[in-house]
Structure 1
Amino acid sequence: MGNEQVRELPATTAAPGRSVGGAGAPGTVHGLLHARTDSFWGTLTGRPVSLYATSVLRIGYGLLYLVFLLREFPHRYEIWGPGSPWTPALAAELFDQTGWYSFLILSDSRAYFELCYVLALLTSALFMLGWRTRLMSVLFAAVVASFHARAIFMTDGGDNLLLLMALYLVLTACGRCWSLDARRERIKTARADGARARSLVARDLRAARRTLVTVVHNCGVFVIAAQVCVLYGSAGLYKVQGSFWNDGSALHHVLNLELFQPWPALSHAMDQYPLAMAVVGYLTVLTQVAFPFVLFGRLKYPVLAVLLGMHVGIAVVLGLPLFSGTMIIADAVFLPDRFYTFLPHLLRRIGRRCGVRAPAPAPGQGTGLGSVPSQGGHPDGREECSPVSRPASGHGGPSPSGPTVTQ
């Protein structure tokens, strides 16, 4: 009796929660935007991207700042210490205007300064090695910020980007690969697997923590990539507005500045070829302006190669190694993880050709460095750079072959 009231839904009736031709319809613009939003959200929360790239940034910037502090060790007292022409009183006065702060001005004692310098060296080394990386990343950022603020007029400008990168790396999980933390985590995982089962609440809490860490890490990587794009784009656009860059004479004027002549003979020899210098100047401007627009295609690889050559030239010819090193390391964030996982295979191949036999990987370790981290993370809540091979995903999530930001 009551069954007569039931009628079959028409074929055009949408499923619950989805309207015909609305945001979920795959053949409409709204459907496409909706699909792209889902893909972006899946990329943001699914797995950490560019784990190898952020590890390269950690190693690179830690090593670069360690070498920088060691290089300036004989002059440390005149640059950052109480004996600097930029006295602690002047620095404190500037801090009142800019809001900066440095722990180096807490005391005028030379013993205190020497202690801070030794701790800065130790922090840079431990950050580079990836020991307690979360803590060391915060301390490294504090060290870079304090030394930068203490003598803000004494450096070549490369420390400006290094400071920004140090702050951004605090957000990332830059100790997941190629670090002492990763080694310790692998040993702990091997000992703890199957030893005990966690409660459902504990697993949920670890899953929520893992998702939060993944989101913060991915946002940090995207901010680093955006920072480098803004830097190159703005530098290229500023050059376009300059008359010296327009007529191709910019490098001629730079090569004749005594401030940027560590090798005067080399600078004068290069200045003998004005046509070549003009071509290099135009190529520099074109590459910097085009950089943000070629990141999502294969054209980015020759552009990165040109930028690498440009920074090497700046370091050697103009005597700005800190600036060039900072930029070269920052460019590494745009290389996909599969590039870094291919490097061990390439090194082993070169070693075999040179007659050097590489050590065989331990049982169960696979290829070691030559693997991409798994998407799902460790079943116990940990995520690491482990040689886990996974089948291709069929749910439309991020591809395991590399991070979205570097594709």
Structure 2
Amino acid sequence: MTTTTASPGSPNPPGSPASSRATPARRVENALATGIAKVTGSALGPYQTAVVRIGFALTWLGFLLREFPHRHQLYGPDSPWSWELAQRQTALHDPFTMLLWSRQDSWFEVVYALAVLSALGLLLGWRTRTMSVLFMLGVFSFMNRSVIVGDGGDNVVHLMAGYLVLTRCGQVWSLDARRRRRQESGAARPGPDLVGVWLWTVLGFFLLLFCALGRIEWFWTLGPVAHMPGWGFALCTIWLSQGAWWYVRERPAGEPRAVLDALANLVHNAGLLIIVVQVCFIYATAGWYKISGSRWQDGTAVYYPLKLDYFSPWPALGDVLAASGTMVMIVSYGTVMVQVAFPFTLFNRRLKNALLALMIVEHLSIAVLLGLPFFSLAMISADAVFLPTVFLVWAGARISALPRRLLRGRRAEAEPTEAPATAAGVIPAPRQGSPSAPVSAPVSASEPEPEPEPEDVRTS
């Protein structure tokens, strides 16, 4: 057994009460310092937040494009949820919606175009911070205009649109990341970001204009005394923060830039944690709510939506699943168990990945069998926050290499192939100054002519 002896001048020799009390305290301090340095020193989960950004932007963009012919009936002047009903509903808790600022059809078209363009910009990662704010305003405007339109997937998009504003979701797989790489490598000329300045100026002008017109309230009340900041205060704070960040970034690196960068990392990591907790809360509440239902308890809950015409895009496929009572019971009980157990598996990587794969398969099945593609895409996008980084890097490399492979294949097909003379059974005559080739049998058309050797090999 090894014994430890203390030096004569040691204030706290090993085994003493003071030493035993100092060691755990020092460990706690070291762990706390390490955690603070990690949270403020880097933006965690860059690939996960990028996938969440791409997934929800694609979900909202696809929904807007699919419903473009019916946009007036869903959210416009022809909606069953009339202008008066929308005003009465929004007066209860004052949600944000730009569609109630004017009854003109032209204003509705402008807001719809803004929602489409912001979703496209967020999908591509162009000016990600600005596009995330515009994306949030577009989602809030439409979903708060007509509360009778939507499903669970729309609620998830509504929540995540606000959380994405907090994250630095354009670190990878975005046009912003590509622009930064080009500047760091010297491929692009460094200089002031004129596009960003103009975008910030134009948006600031309209923001201040709408605040002056009273379209965006500065404060709203919770009672006779309590006041909380409203949308005008929040949006102006974001706008001023963007201006301050640009100003500091254009200056030499120093303490102000380090402080703002640490603050941005802290807000990003807080937003990422909120997304993780929100997804766990969704699955936990959904699973425990199903347990209380009698149809889920007896294992027949999955049977009923398969028999509804509204949720049967492929009736024959739904009938095949509904015909097997055993399969219906397995799917019903399996859905409840996976949803209830998932939040408790986050600390076990292998089990978490297995349940995550099962949930993704479940959402894909819902998209096909029940005809809810945007709900499934929204839930898969939310689940992507738990995907391992190794898998995301591998998948990103394969997807990014796919266009190059396709382009290389098209170039190979477009290149003209010269038919050799021997393909027709004729042996070409030797060139002057070259050794005569031996006479051989005619070459079959199915046998390609061998590749010509390099010049230095033929003359050696």
**Which TM-score bucket, shorter chain as reference?**
0.7 to 0.9
Stretch deviating more after TM superposition (90-99 or 198-207) = 198-207
Which of residues 316, 325, 328 is equivalent to 1:274?
325
Structure 2 partner of 1:107: 102
Q: Does 1:20 align with 2:19?
A: yes
SS in 2 for 1:139: helix
C-alpha distance 228-199 of structure 1, shift in aligned 2 (>3 A): closer
Q: CA deviation at 1:189?
A: 2.4
Q: Does 1:83 align with 2:135?
A: no
Q: Does 1:97 align with 2:92?
A: yes
Whole-Å separation in 2 of the counterparts to 1:49 and 1:223: 13
Higher relative contact order (CA 8 A, sep 6+): 1
Please list the CA deviations of residues 111-150 of structure 1 after superposition, one character each: whole Å capped at 9, or x if unmatched.
Answer: 1111211111111111111111111111100100111101
Letter aligned with residue 87 of structure 1? S
Q: CA deviation at 1:8?
A: 6.0
Mapping of 1:178-189 within 5 angstroms? Answer: 178-189=173-184
Structure 2 partner of 1:136: 131
Structure 2 partner of 1:125: 120
**TM-score normalised per structure 2:** 0.69
Q: Does 1:146 align with 2:141?
A: yes
Structure 1 partner of 2:9: 9
Whole-Å separation in 1 of the counterparts to 2:290 and 2:173: 38
Which structure: larger Rg?
A: 2
Whether contact under 8 Å (1:156, 1:322) holds in the other structure is no
Structure 1 partner of 2:261: 210
Whether contact under 8 Å (2:12, 2:18) holds in the other structure is no
Q: Does 1:328 align with 2:360?
A: no
Whole-Å separation in 1 of the counterparts to 2:169 and 2:128: 7
Whether contact under 8 Å (1:79, 1:154) holds in the other structure is yes
Please list the CA deviations of residues 228-268 of structure 1 after superposition, one character each: whole Å capped at 9, or x if unmatched.
Answer: 01111111111111111111111112222333222223222
Structure 2 partner of 1:363: none
Whether contact under 8 Å (1:61, 1:162) holds in the other structure is yes
Mapping of 1:170-319 within 5 angstroms? Answer: 170-191=165-186, 202-296=253-347, 297-319=349-371
What is the alpha-carbon root mean square deviation over aligned residues?
3.2
Whole-Å separation in 2 of the counterparts to 1:132 and 1:50: 19
Whether contact under 8 Å (1:104, 1:147) holds in the other structure is yes
SS in 2 for 1:171: coil
Whole-Å separation in 1 of the counterparts to 2:97 and 2:400: 46
Q: CA deviation at 1:37?
A: 3.4
SS in 2 for 1:262: coil
C-alpha distance 348-203 of structure 1, shift in aligned 2 (>3 A): closer
Aligned residues: 345
SS in 1 for 2:282: helix
Mapping of 1:341-356 within 5 angstroms? Answer: 341-346=393-398
Whole-Å separation in 2 of the counterparts to 1:38 and 1:357: 53
Q: CA deviation at 1:72?
A: 0.2
C-alpha distance 345-73 of structure 1, shift in aligned 2 (>3 A): closer
Structure 2: stretches of 5+ with no match in the other structure: 1-6, 192-248, 411-460
Structure 1 partner of 2:390: 338
SS in 2 for 1:21: helix
**TM-score normalised per structure 1:** 0.77
Structure 2 partner of 1:369: none
Q: CA deviation at 1:41?
A: 2.4
Structure 2 partner of 1:62: 57
Stretch deviating more after TM superposition (100-109 or 71-80) = 100-109
Q: CA deviation at 1:13?
A: 5.6
Q: CA deviation at 1:221?
A: 0.6
C-alpha distance 317-133 of structure 1, shift in aligned 2 (>3 A): same
C-alpha distance 200-71 of structure 1, shift in aligned 2 (>3 A): closer
Structure 1: stretches of 5+ with no match in the other structure: 1-6, 359-407
C-alpha distance 191-33 of structure 1, shift in aligned 2 (>3 A): same
Whole-Å separation in 1 of the counterparts to 2:356 and 2:86: 38
C-alpha distance 244-105 of structure 1, shift in aligned 2 (>3 A): same
Stretch deviating more after TM superposition (293-302 or 275-284) = 293-302
